[in-house]
């Protein structure tokens, strides 16, 4: 069985570890974690299937790229990789901005964040299977 290659990018070490543990419970994911967007970008050649990317990435290095800059750079290199944005900010304008730039989903870090991320990944998996089975290869639009 092919595992889904999942990149988790968050500067909050505790939240990143919780995410990693949550996804490693499920045997269908292989997980790599990164504390900065720069580290994620350096590893894009490993071609993850999905990236879970935090919006605020300056907790370790105040000069680090934020989530939007990281998102833009990833999309410039590998536009087909689905990205789910995580944010502690629940501003609708921020979510709309990311979705309009082709983020797969925008998830607010709250009590239901893990469940929302898993639902987004399930939707992505089903969508990809439908595309393979139908021969339809257009980019996923949400």
Instruction: Dump pLDDT digits (tens) for 67-105.
Output: 999 999 999 999 999 999 999 888 888 889 898 889 999
Ordered domains of the chain (ranges, CATH): 4-134 (3.40.50.2300)
d(CA 107, CA 110): 9
pLDDT at site 142: 41
Please, are residues 66 and 30 in contact by the beta-carbon 8 Å criterion?
no
Cβ contacts of residue 94 below 8 Å, gap of 6+?
Answer: 55, 87, 106
Provide the pLDDT for residue 63: 80
């Amino acid at each position: 069985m092919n595992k889904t290659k999942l990149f988790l990018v968050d500067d909050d070490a505790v939240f990143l570890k919780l995410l990693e543990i949550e996804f490693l419970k499920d045997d269908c994911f292989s997980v790599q974690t990164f504390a900065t967007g720069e580290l994620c970008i350096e590893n894009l050649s490993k071609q993850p299937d999905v990236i879970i990317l935090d919006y605020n990435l300056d907790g370790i290095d105040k000069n680090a790229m934020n989530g939007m800059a990281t998102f833009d750079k990833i999309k410039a290199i590998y536009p087909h990789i689905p990205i789910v944005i995580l944010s502690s900010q629940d501003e609708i304008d921020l979510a709309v901005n990311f979705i309009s730039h082709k983020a797969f989903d925008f998830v607010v870090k709250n009590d239901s964040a893990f469940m929302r991320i898993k639902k987004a990944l399930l939707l992505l998996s089903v969508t990809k299977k439908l595309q393979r089975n139908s021969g339809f290869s257009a980019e996923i639009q949400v």
